[in-house]
């Protein structure tokens, strides 16, 4: 198992006796970085070095830049969602993966406080934002976009769909709750609104009109 995979699986907090030394160091650096982020302190290489006791050289051996380290730290504990089942009810599978469970694309799998802090950081630094997007977010979208393409092949979804735009509309409705409304994703009213948004987008994605209403 690579260090990256360990971070993704969120298991880095569980240290086993057999864990290779490097992984423990990776984890220590990530934890120091996250502590600075959570404390709303500016994240600098000097601070990470002084808080972790790890050398500058060791840090740069692991991450080519501070930006890639911060992006990795922001992604800590988040997973690439598993493949979406394509042999059953596609709508139900997509709904569960987008809005349903703790591993969902939007609910993040980490605290709302850290999500808000992540948005603050990337709003202030477009390089960090682009790094985080390409190395982390875009990767997490792959299973969902594959499920949409599978739906097109099966004739369930329209052949002319822009699957990226469909993802953006569904996930965007969720971000709107956090970024504009300032609502919590687990509020019942917010969940109802997000399900209604999903219904509309999904209906617009269908090759043929759905029989069921709402």
Find the largest Cα–Cα distance for the chain: 62
Pairwise CA distance, residues 46 & 57, whole Å: 12
Q: How far is the CB of 8 from a copy of itself (least distance, A)?
A: 19
Q: How far is the CB of 49 from a copy of itself (least distance, A)?
A: 26
Work out the burial of residue 98: count CB atoms within 10 Å of its CB; fewer than 13 is exposed, 13-18 middle, 19 or more buried: buried
- What is the C-alpha R_g of the chain? 19
Q: How far is the CB of 87 from a copy of itself (least distance, A)?
A: 24
Q: How far is the CB of 193 from a copy of itself (least distance, A)?
A: 5
Q: State in Å, rounded, how far the first CA of the chain is from the last one.
A: 44
Nearer to a copy of itself, 23 or 168 (CB): 168
Q: How far is the CB of 200 from a copy of itself (least distance, A)?
A: 4
Task: List contacts with a copy of itself (CB under 8 A).
Answer: 116-117, 119-120, 122-124, 126, 129-130, 133, 137, 160-162, 164-166, 168-177, 179-182, 193-194, 196-197, 199-205, 209, 213-214
Nearer to a copy of itself, 110 or 176 (CB): 176
Nearer to a copy of itself, 32 or 71 (CB): 71
Nearer to a copy of itself, 49 or 169 (CB): 169
Q: How far is the CB of 195 from a copy of itself (least distance, A)?
A: 8
Which region, left, alpha or beta, applies to residue 74 given φ > 0 means left and ψ of -120 to 50 means alpha?
Answer: alpha
Pairwise CA distance, residues 170 & 200, whole Å: 9
Nearer to a copy of itself, 147 or 171 (CB): 171
Nearer to a copy of itself, 51 or 203 (CB): 203
């Amino acid at each position: 198992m690579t260090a990256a995979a360990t971070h993704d699986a969120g298991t880095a907090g569980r240290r086993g006796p057999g864990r290779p030394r490097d992984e423990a160091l990776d984890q220590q650096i990530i934890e120091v970085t996250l502590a600075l982020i959570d404390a709303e302190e500016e994240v600098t290489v000097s601070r990470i070095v002084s808080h972790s006791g790890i050398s500058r050289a060791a840090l740069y051996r692991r991450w080519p830049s501070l930006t890639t380290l911060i992006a990795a730290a922001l992604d800590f504990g988040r997973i690439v969602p598993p493949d979406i089942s394509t042999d059953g009810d596609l709508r139900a599978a997509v709904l569960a993966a987008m809005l349903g469970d703790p591993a969902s694309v939007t609910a993040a799998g980490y605290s709302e406080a850290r999500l808000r802090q992540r948005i603050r950081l990337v709003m202030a630094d477009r390089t960090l934002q682009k790094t985080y997007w390409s190395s982390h977010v875009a990767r997490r979208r792959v299973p969902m976009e594959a499920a949409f393409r599978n739906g097109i092949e099966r004739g369930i979804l329209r052949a002319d769909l822009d699957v990226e735009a469909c993802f953006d509309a569904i996930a965007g409705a969720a971000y709107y709750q956090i970024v504009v409304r300032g609502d919590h994703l687990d509020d019942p009213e917010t969940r109802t609104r997000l399900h209604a948004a999903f219904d509309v987008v999904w209906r617009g994605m269908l090759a043929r009109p759905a029989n069921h209403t709402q």
